[in-house]
Structure 1
Amino acid sequence: MRLAGARGGCYTGRMLALSDNTRGAILMAGSMTAFTINDACMKALSSSVPLFEAVFLRGSGVTVMLLFLAWASGGLRHRPSARDGWLILLRTCAEIAAAGFFLTALFNMPIANVTAILQAIPLTVSLAGALFLGEALGWRRLTAITVGFAGVLLIVRPGGEGFTGHSLLALASVLCVTVRDLAARRMSRGLPSLSVALAAAVGVTIAAGIGSLFQGWVPLPPVAALQLAGATGFVLAGYVFSVSAMRIGELGVVAQFRYVSLLVALILGLAVFGDWPSGLTLAGAAVIVGTGLFTLSRERKLRRVHPSPVPLRLR
């Protein structure tokens, strides 16, 4: 018994001794896993529930839970400045557009293909940060970003036999997420993350509610209700893990684990939907991930020389 207790104590000690970056990496991997399972749940709904109805119902559940969390943490007492208010509005509008484009693409494409295109987000955010925020961007990262965009073309293959217009919607969602993240970078550090997320959740829910008036509603089958509950729970878990990860570890280390979502999407696509990407799609995804990891590594080195505030990034 003493030996078992000693071993248990050593194990607990090792867990407590994990570095902030390790714990942040674990949380980010959990976040990406939760977000991707949420995507799978939403895609499974596409055969029985209209898009706007599904988004409205999920958004309602997420809004209620975020409202409770914001109230419990005191986030509702914070009054944003006029500048932050405009940035929240811009970020919310970008979130609404990104959700619409992404989910439309997800409902009509293999989940791994859509997820692979989304891996370009770190590249587009780095490029946009240099173009619009004056952030440093050396020739190495610029070359990596250019190569990464070539990987995107391998996935989308415009004009090719496997081309689908829904790939362009996935690309549009990447651009919207880029705007969203740039707006988040400009927000005050004291602005509560939950308040920003709550504004986005309310905006998406209202937009989906308006859209559902034109698209129509259907009764929710029991299986669809379970899928919707799963999507709501996983998207909230993904948000909480993501924010915790960004607050615990270094951005350059933690953000690299965003790519776990692609691995999870490949597994779920095959196991749940029977989809497996083509060789060109996998090659494009590998190029994007490789250049994204290089870009994040360069950003991490630069931050050691020129430290900067950690931006608020929400999925």
Structure 2
Amino acid sequence: MLIKEKDKKKHMIKMKRNKRGFTLGEMVTTVAIIGTITAISVPNYMRVKMHVNMEMVKQHLKTIGTHMNDLYNQNKQFPQNINTLGSSGEEVAITASLFGINRREYTTDGYTTGPNLSTFQLRTCPQAGRWGIAGDRCFTLTPLGITEDAAGSAAAAFGVGASWGNSIPVTTIAGVATLFLSYSANFTNAERIEMMAAYLELNALQLNRHSDYKIQNTLDGPALSFISFVKSTENTKPFETLLPSVIEALKAKGIYLTVKERPIADSVTTFYSVQKTLGRPASDYAYLSDHASWYSQALEFSFQMAQPVKNAAEVQARIASPLQIYIKYMSKFHNK
């Protein structure tokens, strides 16, 4: 039966209506869902990848250990240099395992031998810039087997004492609490929280730069921190009161902040150790010994991030938003 012309037009109009695109609300909802899934999945993926890397490194070390002992039984000594081995079955297997360790972003240059090549040690750690991504600890192979550093050995590798846990102070900032109080005196609490969260986010994004991008402060990896010194005349109570809200605001952005009080002398010594490990000349940080006597308290602001920055380009891209917020409040302060 033929469709009447009038009914045909109605049918076409109905089909066109059914082919409409997404509304703005639907698109916003979809983007929000994708963002939430990404925020959850990316850190989990990095965490799983890190643990897989470490397990694979241990397996490669186990293989190397087996073949090193075979070589010793054959030659009555261990190799002088494992990076220039020959073509025997054992040597090829060791070379392949060293390559496998490198593929997992771990170092293989920590090989030493004892007297008369009667013993050896191979120490492997995450490569520079891969702490917290490739792994969060070092492993040592000897003829007796494999030992591993405690979880979070990054701090020890950068000259940080055990009392600091896995937190590495890479810079200092004077008077964070003072800045907060001075510039936000006439702001509402909500404005104070937003301003301080933006300020701390800016500093958090700069911490990888201060470590020369050698450390990635992932959620399971080491934390990067700055030390802020406080004078005895400063009243930090308002800052401390709102700090939990600031921490929650940062957490919503995948930035996890912990604030701890540290002894001033220990803070200075630890900071010096980190700077020395990073290869900085003493003249760059010698000032701190003189300035430390001016203060009565040291606060460590320690950060771990769902997605740490890996280079200067990423820093520039990600500071735009918090910088805009911070400038807004600085302008409001100066124009009051």
* TM-score, reference length from structure 2: 0.28
More strand by share: 2
Normalising by structure 1, we get a TM-score of 0.29
- Structure having the higher helix fraction is 1
Name which structure has the greater RCO, CA cutoff 8 Å, separation 6+. 1
Larger Rg over CA atoms:
2
